[in-house]
Amino acid sequence: MPNRHASIEIGLNAVVVSVSDGLPQIVHVNDENNGELDSLPYGPFDPIHHRTIEIGLRSWVESQTALRLGYVEQLYTFGDRGRHRVSGDEGPHVVSVGYLALTRQTADSENTLARHKSAWRSWYDYFPWEDWRAGRPALLDTDILPALETWAKEPPPEGEPPKPLDRQERVRLAFGLEASHWDEERALERYELLYEAGLVPEAKRDGRPAALARKDQPYLGVTMRFDHRRVLATAITRLRGKLKYRPVIFELMPEVFTLTELQTSVEAISGRHLHKQNFRRLVENADLVEPTGATSTATGGRPAALFRFRHQLMSERPAPGLRLGSR
């Protein structure tokens, strides 16, 4: 057999997040070669034209969406074999560096994105079981948990590497069963369990045995290209966790806002309904905002006081976030 040398390409993926109309939205792009699947903005790192990986990411996002990113942070490196599998493809193995970017929507951003064959879309379209703002999603009890509980009782396939916890314990912790509580920061764990159990189309596309053996596959959110839904789940987990110890929510807010608008944005990201008075007490105790002295009548009701982020907070204490309690 002739020697075969594996080649690797570095890809760049961006989860670009904003909050609009009470929804956490991400940018998805449409590729002519992509069929009907949504895709995150992505492209290869070119060391000749990109001095740094982050510069390369910003360049790809701007070329595909016309958005100039502000806040950006690296998420994770995604390198599983088969993650960019295409039938008959013998091209380089793609290892992608994922990034989380936070931005604010402008009045004409939707039209600008449309001209670049991209658009905003709620991340709950991809993960409907993650939205608890109106209560426990029915999808959990009608489709997800019965299928997972059946899968968890099955013996793992021969040769599967051992895991610290068995399947039933992993399901219990990830989905908040029995004495556990629903932890919004376990979004990635939940998606990976659904993938492992063959309950999402990506698993079947990748040839996972559990998915190939499954006769019926419930509709569990919008499918994405390659492993982009896993990249998105990683970003959701990171951002939900970061809300609690860094003031990143203000990267998504306008310069001035009402406390109701701030609460709506926090609820959108966390997927949780928050008690109004408790939230305002939390913001007040954290000393995150300051009044501008102006008011807004945008809601048509009583004038609401306008606030802004108190920037000097960053130099006053190391972890200025919103310490949301557990569900």
Name the CATH topology of 8-125. Answer: Nucleoside Triphosphate Pyrophosphohydrolase (3.90.79)
CATH class for the region spanning 247-315: mainly alpha
295's enclosing H/E stretch is: strand 289-296
pLDDT at 1: 43
Considering the chain, tell me which residue range(s) the CATH 1.10.10.10 domain(s) occupy: 247-315
Crossing angle of helices 228-242 and 259-270, rounded to 10°: 130
pLDDT at 79: 79
Sites in the chain below the pLDDT cut of 70: 1-6, 31-35, 81-91, 315-319, 325-327
Contact predicate 115/66, CB 8 Å? yes
Both tokens assigned to 71: 């806040």
Both tokens assigned to 108: 């004409």
Both tokens assigned to 243: 């809300």
How far apart (Å, rounded) are the C-alpha atoms in residues 281 and 265?
16
pLDDT at 35: 63
pLDDT at 106: 83
Considering the chain, tell me which residue range(s) the CATH 3.90.79.10 domain(s) occupy: 8-125
Contact predicate 117/255, CB 8 Å? no
For 315, other C-beta atoms within 10 Å of its C-beta total 8
How far CA 83 is from CA of 92, 250, 259, in Å, comes to: 12, 34, 42
**Region class of 287: left (phi > 0), else alpha (psi between -120 and 50), else beta:** left
For 175, other C-beta atoms within 10 Å of its C-beta total 21
